[in-house]
């Protein structure tokens, strides 16, 4: 791939990180007029509607690419696709709802940084799938834990707030989601699984919302801007940009770029409060800012290529 195309794709990944980072603001704004299940249900259904045309286009593209490369195209088995869609849907729905409910009790910036903790949890949870853990994950986890302490613990008591706890649960569930996707990656079509999990989440959350939150058209109209951003841009457009952007870009570099989502969420949260878009004060104390820096440093650290010497030692273990 040419340098110009690589630069273009890197920019698309950066744009993806910006869209996802600012989506935290829309999630917080949307819940000023409706419940978390209502917001999550509608935005997921919108995202599924946006991704569905990509599914159709992608199916033809994959087939043509296989034929061009002289490989036999094998359509994924329906049973495997349904199982992958169900499992990913369960993890995705549980994670997104933990995040959505938790954001009612914490700030946009904290939510973004705690959610990014999943990058460290993925290799740790991978132990249960008999995956080797790079040695660099352990110092990264220690730094991240200290950063989380500074970010979440209040000065009045040594307790994590209800909202922070739910966001951390969201990070754990997203880590499980990523491992599930990785398990089925070679057996299914990624875009199809994305569509299925969004549809699953939309149907489940909307059904629960009808029974528990009794949404009205007035509530939806009031929060329409936030829903459209979170559904169309965050769920639909950003995922498509990620697929395009990751082509020809080193996976480590791609992860580093997309991890900027946490930084964007913090900046966007403060900016949204300053201009009056959000009612809740989003500013952080100096202690919390240091915590954010440490968490982000840990996220960057665990994604850096392992030195050759360290890699050999890790392999021997």
Number of domains in the chain: 1
Query: Rounded to whole angstroms, how far apart are CA atoms 263 and 309?
Result: 32
CA 99 → CA 11, 61, 159, 165, 206, distances in Å?
27, 34, 19, 10, 16
Residue 126: what pLDDT? 81
pLDDT at residue 1, rounded to an integer: 55
d(CA 204, CA 7): 39
Distances (CA, A) of 219 to 51, 99, 231, 282: 25, 21, 16, 24
DSSP class per residue in 57-70: HHHHHHHHHHHHTT
Domain that holds residue 203: 3-316
Q: How far is CA 248 from the centre of its chain?
A: 21
Q: Which of 264, 197, 175 is nearest to 44 (CA)?
A: 197
pLDDT averaged per 10 residues, the chain (length 317): 74 89 89 92 94 81 65 73 92 94 87 85 81 82 84 64 88 89 80 90 96 92 92 86 73 73 86 84 82 85 65 47
Q: pLDDT at position 170, please?
A: 93
What is residue 231's predicted lDDT score, i.e. its pLDDT?
92
The pLDDT value given to residue 310: 47
What CA–CA distances, in Å, run from 182 to 112, 190, 208, 287, 298? 23, 10, 29, 36, 22
Instruction: Give the whole-angstrom CA distance, residue 38 versus residue 207.
Output: 9
- CA distance linking residue 189 with residue 193, whole number of Å: 7
Are residues 123 and 134 in contact, defined by beta-carbon separation less than 8 angstroms? yes
Cβ-Cβ contacts under 8 Å for 272 (sequence gap 6 or more): 25, 28, 29, 108, 278, 282
């Amino acid at each position: 791939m040419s340098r110009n195309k690589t630069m273009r794709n890197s920019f698309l990944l950066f744009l993806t990180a910006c869209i996802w980072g600012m989506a935290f603001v829309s999630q917080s704004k949307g819940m000023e007029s409706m419940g978390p299940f209502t917001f999550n249900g509608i935005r997921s259904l919108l995202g599924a509607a946006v991704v569905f045309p990509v599914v159709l286009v992608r199916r033809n593209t994959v087939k043509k690419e296989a034929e061009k490369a002289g490989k036999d195209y094998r359509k994924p088995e329906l049973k495997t696709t349904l199982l992958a869609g169900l499992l990913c849907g369960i993890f995705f729905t549980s994670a997104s709802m933990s995040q959505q409910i938790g954001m009612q009790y914490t700030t946009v910036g904290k939510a973004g940084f705690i959610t990014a903790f999943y990058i460290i949890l993925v290799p740790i949870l991978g132990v249960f799938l008999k995956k080797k853990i790079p040695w660099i994950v352990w110092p990264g986890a220690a730094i991240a834990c200290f950063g989380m302490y500074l970010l979440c613990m209040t000065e009045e008591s040594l307790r994590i707030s209800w909202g922070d706890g739910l966001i951390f649960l969201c990070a754990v569930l997203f880590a499980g989601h990523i491992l599930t996707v990785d398990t089925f990656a070679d057996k299914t079509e990624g875009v199809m699984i994305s569509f299925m999990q969004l549809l699953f989440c939309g149907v489940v959350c909307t059904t629960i919302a009808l029974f528990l939150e009794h949404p009205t058209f007035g509530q939806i109209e009031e929060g329409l801007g936030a829903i459209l951003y979170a559904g169309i841009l965050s769920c639909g457009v950003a995922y498509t940009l990620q697929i395009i952007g990751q082509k020809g870009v080193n996976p480590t570099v791609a992860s580093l770029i997309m991890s900027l989502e946490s930084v964007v969420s913090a900046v966007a949260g403060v900016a949204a409060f300053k201009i009056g878009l959000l009612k809740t004060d989003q500013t952080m104390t100096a202690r919390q800012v240091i915590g954010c820096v440490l968490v982000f440093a840990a996220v960057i650290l665990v994604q850096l290529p392992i030195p050759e010497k360290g890699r050999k030692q890790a392999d021997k273990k």
